[in-house]
Amino acid sequence: MPIKKLKPVAMAVLAASMAAGVLSGCSSNKTTTSETTQPSGSPKPIEITWGIQFQASAVVADSPVQKWLEQKFNIKIKPVKVTDASIASGEVPDLFMLGDPANVSAYQAQGVLMSLDPNMVKEKMPEYYKDIEQSKALFQTVTFSDKLWAIPMFIDLKPYDLTMLWRKDWLDKVGITKLPETLDEFEQAAYAFAKKDPDGNGKNDTYGLTGTATSTWSTGFYSIFGAYGVEPTMWHEKNGQIMNGSIMPEAKAALTKLRQWYADGVIDPEYITDTQDSYRKKLYNNRIGVIEEQIGKAALADGATNVAMKDVNPNAKLQLGKNPKGPGGSGSWDWGVKSNFVVLGNKVKDDPAKLNKIFEILRAESNDEETINMTSLGVKGTQWDFVEAGATSGATKALTGFEKQEQRDAVGVRLFSMGNITTRTYRDKYSNAKLNEAVRTYSSAPSQTDALLFAALPSDGKYKKDLTALTQKYFAQMISGEVPLSDFDKYVAEWKSKGGDELTKEANEMYQKQFKK
């Protein structure tokens, strides 16, 4: 997950919930003692207000990991949860993470962030900067008014990339021996799932697939749109011009295909309200035969989807397949190399000692194995170990008592992690080779990603949310037959008049200024 993307600020930062208690099992470890003493003659600890990892639901004060960091860097940490309300009230952390350029843009507009000198980032974090330079355009996604406002993170091999996950036992049952690779083969299998009673119960109660018509950022059916070379709501470059995938002719072609499938009873009529969680359950419970799934959840035997399927339907067989190839190529929604962003509070600029200390910490969070492990994994032998006994590199696993994220959060693991700010050297050492190979095999990245790397446009706040909702409404109505496909032109005109033309103009201006190669 992959790391879950933080939604635009107006909708997205989670409210703080009750803090979990610290598990006692870690408190006796020498590296995580609950008491630290200040050596005689040492400089006074620098106080840092630290916005905890935005995916964590609760603040845990004085956790073992917090105390370890305080001792290692001679700092005093005040951990806080970052919310729109806390920022609006003036409680701006010195150091925190945001999940999307839109978040950075929104907070920068409020004047709460410190601008950053790229040369300082290069000087203070040389190992990481050498890696991020290979994706240097990411800096442009958080450059506003010709100033840099965040340190971008990157991710090369993404286990959350989407590909097809098939009920292989259903394919066998309907006589399809070759895993579908083309859109035509996909269609043949989907029809067979809907018409040939693949679960063998003698009832007409199965469908080929379902979708997520009202997902957060787009319209669902990503691999089908991708087969036509487009992703709705995403900006695409075509002949040097930036166009929104929602209104391109390729989108209408994909809608025509989906409309046919729906009319023929191949698409589950509940697709309008389905989510990724609900369509997984439908796969487990013999209602549909193929879903779009994150590679990391199904590539290995211990993947979450494989484990859940065994619990519900132990005789079923799942198999990953590639996104279907159609007239526009293949691919699914892809976040590209973009990950999250590190930002500093505006007041840090007035405190050089604090600024230097924060960059000392960030360099360690990116390149120092001990610091990265403590903040993201915990104590080896207590919270985690390598999968292979006696290994010194490779895949890792959580140990008993720390299998759940909330158990790790309770001792501070993840709360202070900076995620994908680690160097490639570290990632290579601690990655799962089998999972990496699966990502390389099944991911179609970056064939369907945003030409602006999901940078925020100046007028996104005025129009983007409403235009996404407009697209979702029209697309759902066209797929289900509530309105004719000829209404696509009506939709395009409405999209343009309600802010789409203005966003398209801004997208082209940004592309020419910041992204054109």
510's enclosing H/E stretch is helix 501-510
The reply to whether 173 and 116 lie within a common domain is: no
Task: Give the domain CATH number at 342.
Answer: 3.40.190.10
**Residue 352: Cβ-neighbour burial (10 angstroms; 0-12, 13-18, 19+):** exposed
Q: Supply the pLDDT for residue 239.
A: 92
> Do residues 377 and 413 lie in contact, with contact meaning Cβ atoms separated by under 8 Å?
yes
DSSP states of 17-34: BPPPPPPGGGTTSGGG-S
Q: Residue 208: inside a domain, yes or no?
A: yes
Which of 382, 402, 417 is a domain's end point? Answer: 382
Q: What is the 3-state secondary structure (H, E, C) of 186-211?
A: HHHHHHHHHHCCCCCCCCCCCECECC
The pLDDT value recorded for residue 21 is 27
475 occurs within a structural domain: yes
Partner residues linked to 380 by β-bridges = 384
Does a structural domain hold residue 353? yes
462/378 same-domain check: no
| Residues of the chain predicted below pLDDT 50 | 1-37
277 neighbors 285 (Cβ within 8 angstroms): no
Q: Are residues 186 and 321 in the same domain?
A: yes
Inter-residue contact 358 to 352 (CB < 8 Å):
no
Identify the pLDDT of residue 36: 40
- Please report the pLDDT score of residue 308 as a whole number: 94
Asked whether residue 443 is domain-assigned, the answer is: no
Q: Are residues 176 and 274 in the same domain?
A: yes
Residue 391 within a domain: no
CA distances from 202 to 168, 195, 288, 294, 428 (A): 19, 11, 15, 32, 50
Tell whether 242 and 352 lie within a shared domain: no
Domain count, the chain: 2
Is there a domain that residue 498 lies in? yes
- Please tell me the chain's helix, strand, coil percentages from 3-state DSSP, rounded to the nearest 5: 45, 15, 40
How far is the first Cα of the chain from the last one, in angstroms, to the nearest whole number? 30
What pLDDT does residue 325 have?
98
State the residue range of the domain holding 194. Answer: 162-333+457-515
Do 110 and 9 form a contact (C-beta atoms < 8 A)? Answer: no
Burial class (CB in 10 A: 0-12, 13-18, 19+), 175: exposed
200-237 pLDDT per residue, tens: 999 999 999 999 988 878 999 999 999 999 999 999 99
